[in-house]
Amino acid sequence: MPSLPVLDRRAALRLIAASPIGLPLIAAAGDLASGGLTDRLAPFWPVYDYTRQNEDRVGELRAGYFLPEKKLYSGAGITVSKLRIDSWLSDFDGIAEDVRRLHARFPAAWARHAAHFDKVFPDFRVSTAPIYLMLSLGDFDAHLEPNKGVLPLFIGLDGIVQYHGAQADLAVLLDHESYHLYQGQVNPALALKSRPPLFITLWMEGTATRVSELLNPQANSLAVLLNDAALAAAAPDTIRRAAQVMIDRIDAVSEKDEDRFFGAGHEGPEPARIGYLLGLLIARRLTGRYSPAALARIDGPAVRELCLEGLTAIARG
């Protein structure tokens, strides 16, 4: 699913607190462009175009692009075997031109994002982490994963097109992910817990979704929920029931509970990732009480109280 896996993001945020970011990260990236953006997708297109009619197309794509970028893909948690590439390629062919167009417009979109995010959060330098443009083989749209002491953000342009469409609203997605990094920077005691109770994940995802909504007033609810149509269409009764269930499990720390509310593949009486919507509704209720920067700084006991207050109101309708 498009959003970052909760455990991967949490592990990534822990790395921010555990090691200095800045110069070590910049040095690791090597060819960083303005704003921390590195284009690792550009070499793909000549190989892709050249091999379109070749008999051993998968093997040549792997040898010509994916194996030279094996270190990048390993860091992102992706295996680049022939079988894996072959299972992805036919679907990619159908969206290749959309991905190519997105690739062309992405640097300008990133520059706009970095400029406006820095204005809202002047104490956070979004450019301190390397940002890699790549193909995710459909695994993700944006993904944080620690790798040998470096915290990169991997952006899979094929995943963005796959999950969000050819005209994806990049501003919403990038604001959501950058806010998670900001949370980890200013409130590590809350954001970096290795096994947080549900109320912390609810708060983290809900406030990131809300902040992306506030920073992009032109975006509709579907865009704010990262184009999850089932989630955006959740019925009021379904939302109320889910809120009541979460109240009863608010302090749970098991992966099973986390997956029920935040896992993309969960199957149950409510849409997958219902926790994102519940968190958004809670954060919306706090508009006017807290600024986006202040939301990121609230401590654990207060967060729990605010989550319970919001869930209770939602459950009551």
Whether the pTM exceeds 0.85: the reply is: no
- Given this model, what pLDDT does residue 177 score? 86
Sign of the CA dihedral 137, 143, 146, 151?
Answer: positive
The full set of domain ranges for the chain reads: 6-189, 196-316
Backbone torsions φ then ψ of 150, nearest 5 degrees: -120, 145
How many whole angstroms separate alpha carbon 34 and alpha carbon 132? 12
- Given this model, what pLDDT does residue 180 score? 85
Q: What is the distance between the terminal CA atoms of the chain, rounded to a whole angstrom?
A: 29
- Given this model, what pLDDT does residue 127 score? 61
User: DSSP readout, the chain?
Assistant: --SPPHHHHHHHHHHHHHS--SHHHHHHHSS--GGGEEE-STTHHHHHHHTTT-TTHHHHHIIIIITTTHHHHHHTT----HHHHHHHHHHHHHHHHHHHHHHHHHHHHHHHHHHHHHHH-TT--GGGS-EEEE--TTS-SEEE--BTTB--EEEEHHHHHHHH-TT--HHHHHHHHHHHHHHHHH-HHHHT-SS--HHHHHHHHHHHHHHHHHH-TT--HHHHTTT-HHHHT--HHHHHHHHHHHHHTTT---HHHHHHHH-TT--SSS-TTHHHHHHHHHHHHTBTTB-HHHHTT--HHHHHHHHHHHHHHHHH-
Q: In a structure prediction context, what are the per-residue pLDDT tens digits for the chain, which is 317 residues long?
A: 344 333 344 444 444 444 333 322 333 333 333 457 899 999 999 999 999 989 999 999 999 999 999 999 999 999 999 999 999 999 999 999 999 999 999 989 988 998 899 899 999 876 666 789 999 999 999 987 755 545 578 999 999 999 888 988 799 999 998 898 788 878 888 887 778 999 999 999 999 999 999 999 999 999 999 989 999 999 999 999 999 999 999 999 999 999 999 988 888 889 999 999 999 999 999 999 999 999 999 999 999 999 999 999 999 98
Residue 294 tokens read as 């202040």
Can you name the residues that pair with 287 across neighbouring β-strands?
Answer: 290
- Given this model, what pLDDT does residue 35 score? 56
